[in-house]
Chain A
Amino acid sequence: DGGITQSPKYLFRKEGQNVTLSCEQNLNHDAMYWYRQDPGQGLRLIYYSQIVNDFQKGDIAEGYSVSREKKESFPLTVTSAQKNPTAFYLCASSPSDREVGYTFGSGTRLTVV
């Protein structure tokens, strides 16, 4: 079955450490997105990519970086510059047909220890 796979499900980061969250989709979707969700809050856009080798900053890109070397993959790196990284991170994808909606991965819970 097609879908989006995020890994790991839980991740613990030490102060000053960079960590990378994986997002892989086999839906042949063109666009991919990274969101952050804090408890009781809505989804905030970190980065998005509409095509391979191209991506744009979202509303809260500071302290994060991404790459889109393959259509299927859109990894997110949380750098040490992100001062408050503890959150639920969600990856999503969508096809060119914007009437279809967005498919989410099951998320990664990142905690700073």
Chain B
Amino acid sequence: RKEVEQDPGPFNVPEGATVAFNCTYSNSASQSFFWYRQDCRKEPKLLMSVYSSGNEDGRFTAQLNRASQYISLLIRDSKLSDSATYLCVVNVGSYIPTFGRGTSLIVHP
């Protein structure tokens, strides 16, 4: 089983839709979690950290479920500019992050 797994998609949604991605991790000792956004041929950029209590930043909500070992990202009112690949990142108490392979989102008019 891979350490961090994501559905590669693509998720194809219309503008204004709500879309959610999950990311499962295998190591129960994982300590910190992040969502990154990567545009085509660009570097990943931090979208948001994921806290145990859940956190929200505008249209984006991230949640952590330690019991089931997954994190989620919810995007409300999708915009065309949200089209990108979303990577989840998990830290297992060391400096070494483990990246998922990413979920592709395509928002169409």
B32 — which chain A residues lie within 8 A by C-beta?
98-99
B101 — which chain A residues lie within 8 A by C-beta?
41-42
Task: Check if A101 sits within 8 Å of B99, measured CB to CB.
Answer: no
Residue total for B at the interface (Cβ-Cβ under 8 A): 21
Task: Check if A45 sits within 8 Å of B96, measured CB to CB.
Answer: yes
Say yes or no: is B20 at the interface (Cβ < 8 Å to chain A): no
Of A14-22, A66-74, A75-83, A104-112, the one touching chain B: A104-112
Task: Check if B46 sits within 8 Å of A43, measured CB to CB.
Answer: no
Indicate the member of A48, A58, A98 with the most B CB atoms within 10 Å: A98
Of B11-19, B36-44, B58-66, B76-84, the one touching chain A: B36-44
Task: Check if B95 sits within 8 Å of A43, measured CB to CB.
Answer: no
- Distance (Å) between the CB of A9 and the closest chain B CB? 11
A99 — which chain B residues lie within 8 A by C-beta?
32, 49
B44 — which chain A residues lie within 8 A by C-beta?
43, 90, 104
Task: Check if A107 sits within 8 Å of B46, measured CB to CB.
Answer: no
Residue total for A at the interface (Cβ-Cβ under 8 A): 23
Knowing A42-B101, A101-B34, the reply to whether A48 touches B49 (Cβ < 8 A) is no
Knowing A42-B99, A42-B101, A45-B96, the reply to whether A104 touches B91 (Cβ < 8 A) is no
Say yes or no: is A7 at the interface (Cβ < 8 Å to chain B): no
Interface residues of chain A, those whose CB is within 8 Å of chain B, are 31, 33, 35, 41-43, 45, 48, 50, 58, 88, 90, 94, 98-107
Interface residues of chain B, those whose CB is within 8 Å of chain A, are 31-32, 34, 41-46, 49, 87, 89, 91, 93, 95-97, 99-102
